[in-house]
Structure 1
Amino acid sequence: MTNVLRIDSSIKGPASVTHKLTDSILARLGGEVTERDTTTIPLIDGTWIGAAYTPAENRTPEQKATLALSDELIAEIKAADVLVIGMPIYNFGVTGPLKAWIDQICRVGETFRYTDNGPQGLAGPKRVIVAYASGGVPLGSAVDLASAYIKQVLAFIGITDVTFVAAEGVAVDESAAVARAEAQIEKLSA
């Protein structure tokens, strides 16, 4: 059975377009689903950085506690065959909650390592389907700062199979934007 990790990042929760699209994607894919709502993930800070860059065998109990959520999030990724990411566009980029998740999962020695040839991802290969929703920012346009960013972050941790399902123009005509995205979902292979 396929293990699917669902990542929701909209502050609107189940009322968001991306939440509805991820529901449709999951119905299309099937599989065993783990759900992660990023809206409760804290931002990283200096204490977190200190813990992350301390060798595991030298971490204090406090440092281990600091990294416990990060460890859990990384374990979810590693256990998944497919990631389904709900990515609404706020002010041309990813949401704050999605950025908090990204910062928690990008960890040296866990999801990437540095080599003489540059960083090497350790979390792939995986399939990713991103449910992209924007009020008026077209996917891949010059003002879309989110899609290239999420592809770069995922590639950095070793995940390069990324597909986007886009509901563009939600602020103009939400029903039409969602219908276009649903048509894209129908073409996804399970």
Structure 2
Amino acid sequence: MATLLHVKTSLFGENGQSAQLAKSFVDKWKVENPGAVVIERDLAKDPAPHLDAFRVTALNTPSEARDAEQAAVVEYADALLAEVKAADTLVIGLPMYNFNIPSQLKSWFDHLARAGVTFQYTEQGPVGMIEDKPVYLVATRGGLYAEQGQDFQVDFVKQFLGFIGLKDTRVVLAEGLAMDSHRDLSLEKARAAFQ
């Protein structure tokens, strides 16, 4: 049975442009995969904690040496990772805030990036350990950045995902959404990608 992981990050919930476009993707995917499972991870409503010294230490402490609090941190990170591994496809709603990704998404990434678990260092450089699968990035932004050399959103996410093994990233971009001259056409083009 096919499984989709839908990662939500819009601070505006279902009213966010990235959320609405990602929902269009999910709806189409469900029609194409009847009876499939959709896992939702809403990082705006239920954010992953930001890393601090305690969490980093817990994630790097050998299992036999962890205390109960450290074990709880690892259990939480393992649950996030299990959702990624269980999915055949991922879709990530990816709004741009202040030139970059939502901090909640960065915190989720920080719980996924674990040496010896999701990546390893080799003589040839780092190698991702998560089995590759399609990841759709539904990226939205108010301004125009793609052609300006100022895309610190999509490029960063693609680099991170590739680092842990998810290299099959596919981008649906809607930009200029705060500009009357671009908004409607940009949204129309993004929606067309799901038809």
Q: TM-score by structure 2 length? A: 0.90
Which residue of 37, 43, 52 corresponds with 1:38? 43
What is the CA distance between 1:176 and its match in structure 2?
A: 2.9
In structure 2, what is the equivalent of residue 105 of structure 1?
112
User: Is 1:135–2:142 an aligned residue pair?
Assistant: yes
Aligned residues: 186
What is the CA distance between 1:140 and its match in structure 2?
A: 5.8
Answer with 110-119 or 77-86: which moved more.
Answer: 110-119
- Name the aligned partner's letter for residue 180 of structure 1: K
Name structure 2 gaps, 5 residues minimum.
31-35
Name structure 1 gaps, 5 residues minimum.
none
User: Is 1:145–2:152 an aligned residue pair?
Assistant: yes
In structure 1, what is the equivalent of residue 33 of structure 2?
none
What is the CA distance between 1:108 and its match in structure 2?
A: 1.4
The answer on whether the counterparts of 1:139 and 1:147 sit within 8 Å (CA) in structure 2 is no
Which residue of 57, 61, 73 corresponds with 2:64? 57
What is the CA distance between 1:136 and its match in structure 2?
A: 0.9
- Name the aligned partner's letter for residue 175 of structure 1: D
Residues 1:145 and 1:28: Cα distance change in structure 2 (over 3 Å): same
- Aligned mates of 1:137, 1:89 — CA distance in 2: 11
Percentage of matched positions with identical amino acids = 37
What is the CA distance between 1:185 and its match in structure 2?
A: 2.0
- Name the aligned partner's letter for residue 186 of structure 2: A
What is the CA distance between 1:53 and its match in structure 2?
A: 1.1
In structure 1, what is the equivalent of residue 188 of structure 2?
179
- Aligned mates of 2:128, 2:100 — CA distance in 1: 23
Q: TM-score by structure 1 length? A: 0.92
What is the CA distance between 1:119 and its match in structure 2?
A: 1.5
